[in-house]
Chain A
Amino acid sequence: MNRSAPLITRLVAAGVDLLAGIYLAAIVLRVLIPRGIFDISPAPFTTTDMLIILGSGALLMVAGMVSGASLGRSAMRLTVTDGWGRTLTTHLGWTLLVTTVMTGWIITGMDPLALFSSGGLEGAQRIFGALLTPDWDILGEALMAMVETIYLAFMATAIAVPFSFLLSFFSARNLMNDVTHRRIAYVVLRFITNFSRSIEPLIWAIVFSVWVGIGPFAGMLALVVHTIASLTKQYAEQIEDVDHGPMEAITATGASRTQVIWFSVVPQCVIPFLSFTIYRWDINVRMATVIGLVGGGGIGNMLIQYQGLAQWNEVGAIVIIIAVVVWIMDVISARVREALK
């Protein structure tokens, strides 16, 4: 055993073992045995179960510490006992992987037969048949809804840009690491943007549809929040990439911090910023379509209505319109971004 390794590293290694043991015991006890072997839903959670699970974790951790054969030690690049210790660790790793795949198979209700059963194939034939014979009577209405979606995405992008522009300078590490209060502001801002980006626009749409009522406005607000978070991060990363030389040169003229940023950082970023913004609008058109499904307005809203009525020919027409418009926007935005380089 490597006694010279820092305490924190050894603690993390032990923690990894503990979690691995708990995880392994939990999926075996709660998923693999009841649902995999007996095909029943697991019995209600009892204190005994809890103790067994926690106990297994503790057991694995202690075993790892005593024997030196442990996943945690191997993950933290500490010495693992040679020979049997290494073999045991490898086996443990494989056990974890295999049980995880098995658990995943059970939990997702994997049923390849359903794909190819006669009943399944009949359903597929029905829906594809309808989708491939679209009903173009709704063309005008669908195009209007599509336009609404595009504008929704456009407005969301346009509203988000000034916010992102301003925030990005405060989220760029190279501009914020000189004094303590800036470093704190940087960390806080990064946390907020990362956190709001990790919430899907779909969920924001639900929040705003309760707040301002179902409709395009709620959908747009959802996109605004997500776009601010995403663009701020992209802009900030671009700022972190700027050539430091011009910044130094402008600083050397006696320019203030604001002047340095405005005259040496911004000129280097304008074109990439524009490129990111156009791409974000493109992404937002696609997202706006999905957001429409939960009442965010536009073409998604229309799609979900016809789907609810099981009017598959109309659904087919809408799907084709979405695909074509998204494809066209994608091509245009790629061309424009290419031209900007």
Chain B
Amino acid sequence: MQPVLSVRDVSLTYPNGYTALKGVSFDVRQGEFLVVIGLSGSGKSTLMRTLNRLLEPTGGSIRYDGQDVTHIEGEPLRKHRSRIGMIFQHFNLIRRHSVLRNVLYGALGAMSSVQSITGRFTAEQQQVALRNLDIVGIADKANQRADALSGGQQQRVAIARALMQQPSMLLADEPVASLDPATSHSVMQYLEKINKEQGVTVICNLHFLSLVRRYATRVIALKGGELIFEGTPDAITDEWFRTIYGEEAVEVEIR
């Protein structure tokens, strides 16, 4: 089967001279749940942002769905981004706006600027938004202000916003890093559900290996901007663990 995403020798050096990625290559097939691990500063977030081209690689190439997206801009870039949903560690909702509106903003990529500026979304869009809220189990919160919700609920709103894009891939940048353990599993289970039921490919940065073992179908590890491990979750032996996280590291369980 052809990979849906193909990353070849991608490097990224920031304008300040800091090199975050050094020749990273890997493939992702449709429907995978790929987890990216590595220490803070290993390049995980940067990698994620090159995939939906919030950042532009300074070397290498990225192909998505048969199209070279490494240096696209303008309309093709908007289109590329709109096909990939993204959720963030800090949820990044518009705090003052209602939950429903936040979900509707996921549709902005498919609308023209003029069409959307009045802030009026069609009845159909509103129905889809409510359905997406239902998928993450918080349709009853639709009219509350986003910042009135708990962290876990806000992350679920963010997932619903990403679903609004009808994405073929979902990027999750440390989605549970600011949540407590119980809520973490709830959020991860919604990602798993979307992955399994809708066949959406998920690429997720995680810190806790117990979560990795529970949810990932495949794992890659970054260290100092280089890809140093690629395999199934159970292939992460103690030795690999120490290689990835350093000799001093101790594994912490999250249940």
Contacts and interface: CB of A to CB of B under 8 A. Distances in A.
Interface of A: 243, 245-246, 248-256, 258-259, 262-264, 267-268, 270-271
Contacts of B158: 249
Contacts of A245: 88, 90-92
Contacts of A252: 52, 54, 81, 84-86, 171
A250 B78 contact: no
B110 interface: yes
Given A249-B92, A255-B78, A263 B86 contact: no
Contacts of B92: 243, 245-246, 248-249
Interface in B77-95: 78-86, 88, 90-95
B105 A253 contact: yes
B108 interface: yes
A96 to B, nearest CB: 40
A192 B231 CA distance: 58
Contact of A250 (B105, B111, B112): B105
Most A CB contacts (10 A, CB to CB) among B83, B92, B116 go to B92
Contact of B109 (A248, A253, A258, A262): A253
A267 B112 CA distance: 19
A91 B113 CA distance: 65
A248 B88 contact: yes
A267 B93 CA distance: 11
Contact of B105 (A248, A256, A263, A271): A263
Contact of A249 (B79, B84, B86, B107): B86
A258 B113 contact: yes
Interface in B47-84: 52, 54, 78-84
B97 A254 contact: no
B113 A254 contact: no
A174 B79 CA distance: 24
Contacts of B91: 245
A254 B108 contact: yes
B81 A254 contact: yes
B165 interface: yes
B88 A267 contact: no
A249 B88 CA distance: 8
A245 B147 CA distance: 14
B173 to A, nearest CB: 10
A254 B54 contact: no
A243 B91 CA distance: 12
B88 A253 contact: no
A262 B161 CA distance: 17
Contact of A253 (B90, B112, B117, B165): B165
Contact of B113 (A246, A248, A256, A270): A256
A259 B106 contact: no
Contacts of B81: 251-254
Count chain B CB atoms within 10 A of each CB in A243, A251, A252, A263 and give the residue with the most. A252
Interface in B167-206: 171
B242 interface: no
B96 interface: yes
A253 B161 contact: yes
B97 A256 contact: no
Contacts of B88: 245, 248-249
A259 B94 contact: no
A258 B81 CA distance: 16
B93 A249 contact: yes
A250 B86 contact: no
20 contacts: A246-B95, A248-B54, A250-B108, A251-B54, A252-B81, A252-B86, A253-B105, A253-B165, A254-B78, A254-B81, A254-B108, A256-B113, A258-B113, A258-B117, A263-B105, A263-B108, A263-B116, A267-B94, A267-B96, A271-B96
A251 B111 CA distance: 13
Contacts of B94: 246, 263-264, 267-268
A31 B61 CA distance: 72
Given A246-B92, A256-B113, 19 more contacts: A245-B90, A246-B94, A249-B86, A250-B105, A252-B52, A252-B54, A252-B84, A252-B171, A253-B109, A253-B161, A254-B79, A254-B81, A254-B83, A259-B108, A259-B113, A259-B116, A263-B108, A268-B94, A270-B96
